[in-house]
Every structure is written in C-alpha cells, then in structure tokens.
C-alpha cells in the first residue's frame, strides 16, 4: 500500500468508530419535531400524520371547537390549541394549562 492509501484507510477506520458511538436523543417512535412542551414545529404538518406524533409525545385531544382542537399533555401540564385547515395544522399555539 502507498502512504496515501494507509492514511485514507486509517482515517476511514477512525470515522467508522465514531459513527458507532452516536447516540440518538429521541426514543424510538418519537417524532423528530416538537417536544412534550412545545408543538409549534407541527405547524404546516399534515393533520392525519401529525396526530400520531402528538400522541407519541404524550398529548391527547381534550376538546374540539369546529376546526380547533385543544391538546393536553398530562405529564408536563402543556396545552396546545391547533387549528386544522385544508388537512394541515395551519396554526399551533401553546397555551397555559388552565386553557385546556
């Protein structure tokens, strides 16, 4: 092997070791957006798909008023008002717990 080949092989070996040590910050099944205290990243998401993400974060629908649904996370005491328009979450507003 040439010196260049040895350097490349050593670099690739070092990098492969690093990739094996990467930890994920979300649990399996947890959406990559939003959190148990902030759902604002869900604005613009397709409602049908996003609903499963909300539930995976611990939220449950508390009540609906037309196209508006109030979601509450009992573990964190977090409340969100989500408006659906044309099949998407057009407005996601975080509210005080007592609003749920």
Q: What is residue 56's three-state secondary structure?
A: helix
Residue 8: what pLDDT? 41
> What is the pTM (predicted TM-score) of this model?
0.67
Q: Characterise 74 by phi-psi region: left (phi > 0), alpha (psi -120 to 50), beta (else).
A: alpha
* Confidence tier at 11 by pLDDT (50, 70, 90): very low
Whether the per-residue pLDDT at 3 is higher than 60: the answer is: no
């Amino acid at each position: 092997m040439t010196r260049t080949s040895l350097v490349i092989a050593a670099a690739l070996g070092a990098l492969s070791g690093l990739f094996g040590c990467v930890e994920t910050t979300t649990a399996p099944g947890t959406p990559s957006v939003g959190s148990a205290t902030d759902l604002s990243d869900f604005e613009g998401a397709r409602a049908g798909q996003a609903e499963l993400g909300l539930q995976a974060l611990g939220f449950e629908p508390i009540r609906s008023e037309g196209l508006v649904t109030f979601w509450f996370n009992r573990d964190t005491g977090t409340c969100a008002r989500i408006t659906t328009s044309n099949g998407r979450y057009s407005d996601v507003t975080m509210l005080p717990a007592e609003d749920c």
